Structure 1
Amino acid sequence: MHITAEISYYPLVDGYDQPVFELLELLEEHPQLRVEPGTMSTLIAGEYDAVMLLLSQSMKTLMANYPSVFNLKIANACEVK
């Protein structure tokens, strides 16, 4: 099943740009997924298992290093074109 996820990341630290760049690097490492960074959120599209694994691993990595808030939307009816 193909899904699209929208993720917004709010690191609760001074110098918040560094953790945001770390998230983008983690997301863009996956060649099988489509990643479209935006101003306030990033879209990730691909097969369900691959998207969910990438989200889980990326969020866990950042939460281990920074106090974090993530906002996610996941749909199987809103395809990124």
Structure 2
Amino acid sequence: MKLTIDISKYPLADNYIEPIKGFIDELNKFEELHIITNSLSTQVFGDYDEVMAALQACIKWSFERYGKVVFVVKFLHGDLRPES
């Protein structure tokens, strides 16, 4: 089953750019996923189990590295990548 997520990260710190970039860099380590980042959020496309495993690993990494942050995630069934 394919999955699309739209995720936004809101670090509860004055220096918010580094934690956001770090999270996106961690997500990009999962080569089996297709990732699109814009100024508002990051979209992740792929197999359900692979997306969820990456999301779990990256959120845990973020909490351990940066402490308190807020994640807002939308889950959509299917691969909803925009057409080029």
Which range, TM-score by smaller chain? over 0.9
Q: Which runs of 5+ in 2 are unaligned?
A: none
Instruction: Tell me which stretches of 4 or more aligned residues in structure 1 moved more than 3 Å.
Output: none
Q: How many residues align?
A: 81
CA distance in 2, matches of 1:28, 1:61: 13
In structure 2, the residue matched to 1:7 is: 7
Q: Which runs of 5+ in 1 are unaligned?
A: none
In the TM superposition, residue 63 of structure 1 has moved relative to its aligned partner by: 1.1
In the TM superposition, residue 73 of structure 1 has moved relative to its aligned partner by: 0.3
Tell me if 1:35 matches 2:35. Answer: yes
CA distance in 1, matches of 2:5, 2:44: 5
Query: Percent of pairs identical after alignment?
Result: 30
Aligned-residue CA RMSD (Å):
1.1
TM-score under structure 1 length normalisation: 0.94
Local SS of the residue matching 1:51 = helix
